[in-house]
A and B are shown apart, each in its own frame.
Chain A
């Protein structure tokens, strides 16, 4: 059972970036004027080499990828935006052609680079199931066989004959995912499709994916959700600038990803170029441990006290009542909580630093993104600046914080995991 399902050798993909590009759609006029320009230049400088006036910027989205994926393996692919993850999936799915290199694939491939590819808003749910199924490579017979299953899963029985343009976005996504998940290929390529729908549906999708992964399919999975990668995959590849920089167990790859400066760190310093309006401007923000020694890190433990702070400047005196606030998001995009200064303060012109204490044993072991903002509620409600995902940091579990918890690597669900007061008494026999 260790046959190779996908073998990738020295894969390169080049994109050309230029103003009047050869690749990339420009207008015919650009190209004609380019040709004319070239001819003119040739006449003027007959000896000049051609490179002088064609301004091409080469961009290697993939720069020598070598990978062997065994049958039945679940491979997670991570990396920051622009690292080449999606390009790699596109080439494996045969949508785009490689510039150099070779891939050989054994087995029936299905790719889900988005859910609901080819859905037509004017068509009914029923019609879209057939259309989308066909686009994903199912035959009419297969779709018929799985039709009830799809409708059940998507929970849209009542609206089967309604055009999908009248669907709520939740229904739309559920239907789309239901069709996609009824695929039964040998190799499944998935790009970020789980980041959809409400929490309940996401859970359903995850369990469906878990099922698929247990059934012995080969799965390639690109995601920004590290917890999903960690729970679904048994191997992970970290891409950076079109190269494989780590190929190991998911947990290790994820650590490297964070260590790599793959994310915005626990400190931003805008100095005088921060976001803001005519009244307030953000100068800097950072997150650090309560008793830290000044070292710059964005890795913390669940049982550490943390401080999040922002430095901002009030540019002029006004009647406005300013409220500094932070919002905490997890890597799945869920808002964990929102906190703001609860004290009424008078802000005169000047520079302020505002700190918020995050107690130990409140956050879960995951990655958090902090949005930094100053808003006001008087004379009107407005946000003076809101720097989304300004800071990010990782919280991990030292595994000794709670005596009752077994020392396994099982993740505890939830955006937060506070230590709360419990009392348990024996009240009877």
Chain B
């Protein structure tokens, strides 16, 4: 049975790389499964933490931006407005930071075992996906409370979820690979997340941004994603802001492609420098 012959050479581009990822899919499941399990080990209320965080943040935002600052909400109940932005944002923030630290956190495996390294950041995003699904229960609950029934727009939601995914993975891959070499990025990530919460339209609608800044604003990939989420979920009278979504989409595709490319080009040196 001389099925598999492997050639190892310097600078060799593994032609079977994507096939290898498929071959190692079980490892992908197990790493994701481990991360989910470990997340709530030795906590008493476990998964409830996933609900508390978006709920409390939402309450604070509703109070500050809705009640105190009285920002316009396009006739949408403010809690709904905040939550429909908060969920994709939290997913992005979690996935981005998990993926960014994933290689360094798994350095003991990386320096001892061969497998396609892309599996590590990809599987780390799964934890955030699980939390995303769990915390969308809150959104559903609040939608029921306000008797807000989504229109046929909801059919477009999967597209925006894909965009969200691609944004998180694209930027996560960049940071993960850079973090191996420059640990500075483990300080950059929390900063980006903290900052990003305020420059993304989480607590307000993107319509607040003046027209002339629109292009610049949409360069933040989360602007398009959040706009899309709101349009598909909420009973809004506003038309879909195709311009901002298109700009964000281009940024996301750019991030994803360059992210994968960069990751693959430095992947082979990870074991040497991690």
Contact = CB atoms under 8 A, between A and B. Distances in A.
Interface of A: 3, 15, 23-29, 31, 90-109, 111, 113-114, 117-118, 120, 122-123, 127, 130-131, 134-137, 139-140, 163
B37 interface: yes
Contacts of B112: 95, 111, 113-114, 117
B20 to A, nearest CB: 10
Contact of A135 (B10, B113, B274): B113
B26 A140 contact: yes
B211 interface: no
Contacts of B38: 120, 122-123
Contacts of B182: 25-28, 31
Q: 7 tightest A-B contacts by CB? A: A94-B114, A134-B30, A97-B268, A103-B8, A28-B182, A122-B41, A28-B184
Contacts of A28: 182, 184
A139 B8 contact: no
Contacts of B31: 131, 134
A31 B185 CA distance: 14
Contacts of A137: 27, 113, 115
B70 to A, nearest CB: 43
Contacts of B2: 3, 106-107
B144 interface: no
Nearest to A27: B184
B109 A102 contact: no
A120 B34 contact: yes
Given A118-B106, A120-B38, 16 more contacts: A25-B273, A26-B182, A27-B183, A95-B114, A95-B271, A97-B268, A98-B9, A102-B8, A108-B4, A114-B112, A118-B109, A122-B42, A127-B34, A131-B30, A135-B109, A135-B113
Contacts of A101: 9-10
Interface string B1-20: 01011111111000000000
Contacts of A114: 112
B271 A130 contact: no
B177 to A, nearest CB: 12
A134 B2 CA distance: 23
7 contacts: A26-B181, A90-B271, A95-B111, A95-B113, A105-B5, A107-B2, A117-B113
Contacts of B75: none
Interface in B165-213: 180-184
Interface residues of B, number: 40
Interface centre among B5, B6, B31, B42 (most CB of A within 10 A): B6
A27 to B, nearest CB: 6
B8 A94 contact: yes
Given A94-B6, A106-B2, A122-B38, A25 B113 contact: no
B191 to A, nearest CB: 14
Contacts of B274: 25
Nearest to A127: B37
Given A103-B8, A113-B112, A117-B108, A163 B41 contact: yes
B269 interface: yes
Given A117-B108, A134-B30, A106 B5 contact: yes
Interface string B24-37: 00110111011001
Nearest to B5: A106
B30 A130 contact: yes
Interface centre among B11, B27, B31 (most CB of A within 10 A): B27
Contact of B109 (A15, A25, A91, A117): A117
Contacts of A127: 34, 37
Contacts of A92: 8
Contact of A102 (B9, B29, B115, B183): B9
Interface in B92-112: 106, 108-112
Contacts of B271: 90, 95-96
A114 B110 CA distance: 12
Contacts of B106: 118
Contacts of B183: 25, 27
Contacts of B8: 91-92, 94, 97-98, 102-105
B185 to A, nearest CB: 8
B108 A25 contact: no
A125 B161 CA distance: 36
A16 to B, nearest CB: 10
B272 A96 contact: yes
